[in-house]
Chains A and B, each alone.
Chain A
């Protein structure tokens, strides 16, 4: 009966390094979203996965950002060559296909030094 889980909960990295953030969805939830929560910017949509369909990448801020969802379950958000402006909380949300409600994980707080 676990909710959406994300790991790590906190990540501190140096500018220029690559990072991977993980999201484990609620079992049976076919839709998965990544959002970014920055100070003063609120929550911004990044990318959306639904089943085997092509992902909606329209919110990714640059080509340094990418995401995968393997086997319709776990998702990984990768940020290459991190910059200080990438510092934020990265939130994952999932939902059942026919519902509207998105369930959010606790987020990963990324700090780029």
Chain B
């Protein structure tokens, strides 16, 4: 049972465009939703995270939109840059489960110059 479903698997965007990655979850007990960015040969690094008591969180060019009723959340990257080219993972966790992360399968983003 895949608890966090992520789409698309890959995404190609032109420089300056908007990148949108979507995730859906099944377990309503999840209470923390981070996005991780991973470059080749490196471990994932936290990009931005949200809790279900807010519908949107913005940090610079990165925005999470959260829809609790639909059990969906998405990452928007505004003014995408070639340096944003990486694999992005959505994840979810809950305090009652020791905060272990359940990850989506990842999206490979390529931003063309």
Contact = CB atoms under 8 A, between A and B. Distances in A.
Contact of A4 (B43, B93, B98, B102): B43
Nearest to B9: A40
A4 B43 CA distance: 10
Given A56-B98, A100-B32, A101-B34, A41 B105 contact: yes
A23 B45 CA distance: 17
Nearest to B31: A100
Interface of A: 4, 31, 33, 35, 40-45, 48, 50, 56, 59, 91, 93, 95, 100-107
Given A91-B44, A106-B42, A31 B103 contact: no
B44 A45 contact: no
Contacts of A100: 32, 34, 49, 93, 99
Query: Interface size class for chain B?
Result: 20 to 34
B64 to A, nearest CB: 14
Contacts of A35: 101, 103
Given A42-B104, A43-B89, 20 more contacts: A31-B98, A35-B101, A41-B105, A42-B89, A42-B103, A42-B106, A43-B44, A43-B101, A48-B98, A56-B98, A56-B100, A93-B43, A100-B32, A100-B93, A100-B99, A101-B34, A101-B46, A104-B45, A105-B43, A106-B42
B113 interface: no
A42 B105 contact: yes
B41 interface: yes
A42 B102 CA distance: 10
5 contacts: A35-B103, A42-B105, A102-B99, A104-B44, A106-B41
